[in-house]
Amino acid sequence: MNEKEIILEAMKKAGEPLNAGKIAELTGLDRKVVDKVMADMKKAGSIVSPVRCKWEPAAK
């Protein structure tokens, strides 16, 4: 699995919006990697922010 898939899987398992720090903690990925991948995911529209600074997978 690539980083994007790992992050999405962690978000789905959590079942609630997460911030980047919590995602890094759950996945074991470096925080800088999480921030970079999430920035790309935001641009692509694959994650959305229902609450300030917290993210979840976009409904597709």
CATH for the 3-57 domain, from 2.60.40.10, 3.80.30.20, 1.10.10.10, 1.10.1200.10: 1.10.10.10
Residues of 4-27 as b/e, b for ≥16 C-beta within 10 angstroms? eebbbebbeeeeebbbbebbbebb
* Domain residue limits, the chain: 3-57
Return the closest-CA partner of residue 1 out of 27, 24, 26, 20. Answer: 27
pLDDT digits (tens, 9 = 90+) for 4-53: 999 999 999 999 999 999 999 999 999 999 999 999 999 999 999 999 99
Residues 19 and 55 sit within 8 Å (Cβ to Cβ): yes
The reported pLDDT for the residue numbered 30 is 97
pTM for the predicted model, two decimal places: 0.89
